Amino acid sequence: MLTALTPQAPDKILALMAAYREDPRDDKIDLGVGVYKDASGNTPVMRAVKAAERRLVEEQTTKVYTGLAGDPAFAEALSKLVLGEARPADRLACVATPGGTGAIRQGLELVRMAAPGATVWLSDPTWPNHPAIAKYLGMKVRTYRYFDAETGGVDFDGMREDLDAVAAGDVVILHGCCHNPTGANLTVNQWDGVADLLVAKGSVPFVDIAYQGFGDGLDKDAAGLRHLVAKVPEALIAASCSKNFGIYRERTGLLMAIAPSAADLKVTQGAMASLNRLNFSFPPDHGARVVSMILTDDGLREDWAAELEEVRNSMLGLREQLAAALRDRVGSDRFGFLAAHRGMFSLLGATPDQVEVMRRDHGVYMVGDSRMNIAGLNATTVPLLADAIVAAGV
């Protein structure tokens, strides 16, 4: 049987990580892997996470399974963080998942269960796992314009024009904030426009929010999503705790489904729990307990939010430094969009050949489409990257 398997395409980011490790140069720069790094190149455990874990070890009396949907306290705490006052408690179904990726997978499984013929609409470009999972599940996929390479911003006119073709029951995946890979975000007014369009079309938004707190702050990063939720009759939301709590390896995520009415809630919750049972049975709990402890303890929450602000401001500072360094070198503000972008990533706009020149001649590692992780920089490497970008002719 196994001899019938065919080689799978290698993951580009994992291949990039391997090439970076094998590069002997001391001044090489890793802008590929999607994790936050501090000025020393480390991905630290947050103070509140350490404190919560210590308390958990001392207080936890059992490792017995949680329910199929996970710990209700986690679902309540995280859904309140994401949705705020827009949280429709009487219509909200939640299940814990193995990370944000697990929430995306479970959400698309739910779509396939409820509407097998639905088309899944994805931004162009988007996170590579979005189309990969949808296509693996045999779902129809279409794209809508999103990024304007000329301005480095959102092509909102193109986006609206393409989404005008969505059909009733189709699902439109949107990035809640800090768009991956572009770094370009919708304004709150644009979120309102998208919500109005989806309501008119009878299509369902599926919002992937993996970087809340990394852009403009916890509430501002969720503002567009909250406007959307207040307008649409139903929605899916995949939330990740990997980045804003720094618990990547704990695989902590939550799938939320807003049902059309309170009467639909029980069936929706049951379907989601059933999918958990079929895919991995009970979800992981350690990270979820840590998150719920932090969010429900005033002291831990305050310390976590303060450290998250330090992380956010560090990335904003690096963006401004890089944009200024490039302005000095090229004599124009054509890279100013880098300072306007939010989150870990920006799409530089370099060709694959230019990306290869930067890797070969300067030891700068970024994905071939020129997505770069701003958090991979520090004050020393910003000018090195600026020199590499100019030398490559970007």
Active-site annotation, residues: 127, 208, 210, 243
- Give the three-state DSSP class for 166: coil
CA distance 168 to 178: 28
CA distance 126 to 369: 11
Query: Looking at residue 142, what DSSP letter applies?
Result: E
Amino acid identity of residue 159, one-letter, is M
Strand ranges in 191-300 using DSSP code E only, listed in sequence order: 204-209, 235-240, 252-258
CA distance 316 to 215: 8
Q: Is the dihedral of CA 377, 152, 214, 127 positive or negative?
A: negative
* Residue environment code for 75-88, b if the CB has 16+ CB neighbours within 10 A, otherwise e: bbbbbebbbeebbe
CA distance 321 to 331: 15
User: Which CA distances in Å does 394 have to 228, 284, 326, 334?
Assistant: 37, 44, 11, 11
Query: Looking at residue 284, what DSSP letter applies?
Result: P
